[in-house]
A and B are shown apart, each in its own frame.
Chain A
């Protein structure tokens, strides 16, 4: 059974801090890993990662994948209160399970002013 585990489950920081969110996975026929941000509504897409060692960046957010050690990290620098959200990691399988997405439990990030 495919498994995605995120850590920490919850994180409280102050504005300006840098945070690192972790996502480890055990997936048969791994194809890609995706990060989403969920505020008080539906998730919004952040990144898709398919290759090891290639950093994806968007403003203060960046993410990298390690396919050998089976994990990904999401970094947020100079955090702002607007970064407060649940961050979800998901893996996409290939082969006969192509199309199947497995999500982690999410990391709840709270940024205080």
Chain B
């Protein structure tokens, strides 16, 4: 089954404790992207990747890192999480930019 998976689905952590949210797709898509969703603000793009080893900043990259060492995986790293990073995070992928994007189920992160 074609899908985008994210782990964990829910995470409660404390300020400053490094964490990684994994994202994996099984569709051989070239384009992958991370978003955060906050009430009243819609989706905001954090980082995106056009292909392996190619990543670029979206609108809200501060406090986040990503890597794309393999085509299928695009982890989101929070080196020192802060409470303002409490949000719902979505990973998405598509074959090309602008194609139908497949979204993962979301990760709800709470930073205390």
- A7-38: CB near B (< 8 Å → 1, else 0) gives 00000000000000000000000011010100
**A61 contacts partner chain B, Cβ-Cβ < 8 Å:** no
For B48, the chain A residues whose CB sits under 8 A away are 99-101
Task: State in angstroms the CA–CA spacing of A105 and B106 once bound together.
Answer: 18
B59 at the interface (CB under 8 A from A): yes
- Spot the interface stretch: B18-26, B63-71, B72-80, B94-102: B94-102
Residue B45 is within 8 A (CB to CB) of chain A in the complex: yes
Contact A101 B45 (CB under 8 A): yes
Contact in complex: B98, A32 (CB < 8 Å) = yes
Q: Classify chain A's interface size.
A: 20 to 34
Residue of A nearest to B88 (CB): A42
Alpha-carbon distance between A34 and B35 when the two chains are bound, in angstroms = 15
Residues of A within 8 A of B45 (CB): 100-103
Pair B106/A101 contact, Cβ less than 8 Å = no
On whether the beta carbons of A100 and B56 are closer than 8 Å, the reply is yes
Indicate which residue in A43, A45, A92, A104 contacts B97 across the interface (CB closer than 8 Å).
A92
Residues on the A chain within 8 Å of B49, using CB: 99
Q: Give the docked Cα–Cα distance between A99 and B68 (Å).
A: 15
Instruction: Take A88-B42, A99-B31 as given contacts and tell me if A45 and B101 are in contact as well, using a CB distance cutoff of 8 Å.
Output: yes
Q: Please tell me if the beta carbons of B33 and A101 are within 8 angstroms of each other in the complex.
A: yes
A36 to B102, CA, bound (A): 11
10 further A-B pairs in the complex, CB-CB below 8 A; given A48-B100, A50-B98, A100-B56: A2-B59, A41-B105, A42-B106, A43-B101, A88-B43, A100-B48, A100-B58, A102-B59, A103-B45, A104-B42
A residues apposed to B, CB below 8 Å:
2, 6, 31-32, 34, 36, 41-45, 48, 50, 88, 90, 92, 98-106
Pick 14 A–B contacts, CB within 8 A, sort by A.
Answer: A32-B98, A42-B103, A43-B43, A45-B100, A99-B31, A99-B49, A99-B97, A101-B45, A101-B48, A102-B45, A102-B59, A103-B44, A105-B40, A106-B42
